[in-house]
């Protein structure tokens, strides 16, 4: 009689691991605690195949996301500068301010690339001049693009 048994975790467990992982535990621990508490289920060949299928799908999705991010990054790096025209007030201040939504619209209009305004970070654009915006592609990649704020009522 085997002393250890393979089980698949249904829920995240601090001691054992994450949901969907297959672990090897003692029979008594599996049948007396993990399975009745609905933390794990017995690992069968079909369930293991099912888990591997989901893992393969996750890996393929990560790869496609990385490729899409790389293409978007290459297209955004082609943008040399963004020019925005605003009315000028006193002391080289503009009326209103330039928001992430404005920049996202500009990029959509001129490059046909969709960027979420959450990805954009603008450093206080309330006066005429050149500022930099940061576009956060993912946790590791940031792109910096200069933005020219040009007065229209000269």
Model confidence pLDDT, tens digit, residues 64-98 = 988 988 888 888 888 888 888 888 888 878 888 78
Q: Quick one: pLDDT band at residue 1, thresholds 50, 70, 90?
A: low
Cβ neighbours around 115 below 10 Å, total: 20
Whether residue 154 is predicted with pLDDT greater than 60 in this model: the reply is no
| CATH code at 75-151 | 3.10.430.100
Summarize the confidence of residues 116-132 as an average pLDDT: 81
Instruction: Enter the CATH code of domain 4-59.
Output: 3.40.5.10
Least confident of 5-14, 102-111, 120-129: 120-129
SS3 content of the chain, % helix, strand, coil (to 5): 40, 30, 30
Cβ atoms 11, 38 nearer than 8 A: yes
Amino acid 16: pLDDT? 78
% of the chain at pLDDT higher than 90: 21
Please answer whether residues 135 and 73 qualify as being in contact, where contact means their C-beta atoms are separated by less than 8 angstroms: no
Domain boundaries, the chain: 4-59, 75-151
CA-nearest of 120, 126, 61 to 91 is 126
Distance separating alpha carbons of residues 132 and 78, to the nearest angstrom: 15
| 75-151 matches 4-59 in CATH topology | no
Q: Of 50-54, 60-64, 125-129, which range is least confident? A: 125-129
- The answer, yes or no, to whether residue 123 has pLDDT greater than 80, is no
pLDDT of residue 24: 92
Position 91 scores a pLDDT of: 82
* Averaged pLDDT, 1-11: 85
Mean residue pLDDT across the chain: 85
């Amino acid at each position: 009689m085997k002393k250890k048994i393979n089980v698949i975790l249904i829920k995240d467990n601090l001691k054992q691991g994450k949901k969907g992982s297959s672990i090897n535990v003692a029979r008594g621990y599996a049948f007396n605690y993990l399975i009745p508490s609905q933390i794990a289920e017995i690992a069968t060949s079909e369930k293991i195949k099912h888990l591997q299928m989901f893992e393969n799908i996750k890996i393929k999705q990560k790869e496609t996301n990385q490729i899409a991010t790389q293409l978007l990054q290459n297209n955004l790096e082609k943008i040399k500068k963004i020019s925005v025209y605003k009315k000028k007030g006193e002391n080289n201040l503009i009326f209103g301010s330039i928001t992430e939504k404005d920049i996202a619209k500009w990029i959509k209009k001129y490059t046909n690339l969709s960027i979420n305004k959450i990805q954009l970070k603008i450093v206080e654009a309330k006066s005429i001049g050149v500022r930099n915006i940061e576009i956060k592609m993912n946790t590791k990649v940031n792109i910096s693009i200069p933005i020219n704020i040009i007065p229209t009522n000269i």
